[in-house]
Amino acid sequence: MHKDLEEIILHEAEIEQRVKELGDAIAKDYKCQEPLLICILRGAVIFFADLCRAIDIPVQMGFVSLSSYKDGTSSTGNVEERQKLMADVKGKAVILVEDIIDTGLTLKDYSQNLLDRGAESVEICCLLKKPEQVHNVDVQYQGFDIENRFVVGYGLDYAEQYRNLPYVGILKKEIYS
């Protein structure tokens, strides 16, 4: 385990198994369509890469960079589009792929944005969900519920560190306070 972590809450094998189940569920639900999977950079990148390979039907891929946290540990309340989505969403069955829902702001804001741009449907696939959302979002595909602690790894960062850890763990308080 990385020295800055208090404990690992999701090990590689557990994540792998759950991602496979999510991939199977998406393949079953979208077997007559070719969904556009949109990766919300940067946190979702690792999950997205694994999830795409667990879906056994044709999919399209899109990438957008959204951020509300800057380098801190709590939401700023504003979603900033750092890099725009290049894919055309008009008439598409979109699945937004996200690493974590905390306040729900990012997904609430961006799903509506895509519907306004003509997406036929927008569903959400999220690896982790914290317990208390300020903004209610319907999550179609969810990996795990987690406690309200600051987690890193498997794409999630603190000040751009720890994204490449293959597991999800709780960061020691002394690192960020």
So which residues are the catalytic ones? Answer: 102
Q: 34 or 164, CB closer to ligand PRP?
A: 164
CB of 44 to ligand PRP, least distance (A): 6
Is cis: bond before 42, omega within 30 of 0? yes
By CB under 6 A, residue 69 contacts ligand PRP: yes
92-131 binders of ligand PRP (CB under 6 A) = 98-106
**Residues contacting residue 89 through CB under 8 Å, at least 6 positions apart:** 36, 62, 114, 117, 118, 119
Q: Distance between CA atoms of 120 and 9, rounded to whole angstroms? A: 36
By CB under 6 A, residue 50 contacts ligand PRP: no
Region from 1-9, 11-19, 68-76, 86-94 binding ligand PRP, contact rule CB under 6 A: 68-76
The CA–CA distances, whole Å, from 126 to 32, 77, 91, 138, 175 equal 22, 20, 22, 11, 26
Q: Could you give the string, one character per residue 154-173, with x where binding to ligand PRP holds by CB under 6 A and - elsewhere?
A: ---x----------------
Region from 26-34, 66-74, 85-93, 116-124 binding ligand PRP, contact rule CB under 6 A: 66-74
CB of 153 to ligand PRP, least distance (A): 12
Task: Say which DSSP state 158 is in.
Answer: B
CB of 31 to ligand PRP, least distance (A): 28
Q: Are 125 and 111 in contact (CB under 8 A)?
A: no
CB of 102 to ligand PRP, least distance (A): 4
The CA–CA distances, whole Å, from 109 to 32, 66, 103, 117, 145 equal 28, 10, 11, 13, 21
Q: Distance between CA atoms of 136 and 159, rounded to whole angstroms? A: 27
Residues found near ligand PRP in the complex (CB under 6 A): 40, 42-43, 66-69, 75, 98-106, 157
